[in-house]
Amino acid sequence: MGDWVTVAQTGELAPGEFRAVDLDGTKAVVFNLEGQYYAIEDVCTHDGGQLTGGTVEGDEIICPRHGARFCIRTGEALTAPAYEPTASFPVRTENGEIQVRDNRWD
């Protein structure tokens, strides 16, 4: 079971901001969308490159290399050339901390 990893204090990640983090060797990115926190794996399923460096529009991140769009809330691939979702991870706030964990191997 993946451990919860503290990625920021709640006041450190303002709405519209995101932060790249390491979850025990997995690169992830945590987003604040209108006060709700979401985390997805920082990988484009089309080419394996990082999504960070791309543009955020609403609740979508656009891959900086080929323009594939992913839903920040679910990890769903929304446009070609990506067809497979990127992993999404549970996020919680506990004692003023934003915490994420990789639950894929639970």
Q: Which class is domain 5-100?
A: mainly beta
pLDDT, residue 16, reads 92
Split at pLDDT 50, 70, 90, the class of 1 is: low
Question: Would strands 97-100 and 36-41 be described as parallel, antiparallel, or unpaired?
Answer: unpaired
pLDDT, residue 106, reads 80
- In this prediction, residues 11-39 reach a mean pLDDT of 95
pLDDT, residue 81, reads 97
- Structure confidence by residue, pLDDT tens digits, 30-42: 999 999 999 999 9
Separation of first and last alpha carbons in the chain: 5
Give residue limits of the domains in the chain.
5-100
- Assign 3-state DSSP to the chain and report helix, strand, coil percentages, each to 5: 5, 45, 55
Q: Are 85 and 73 in contact (CB under 8 A)?
A: no
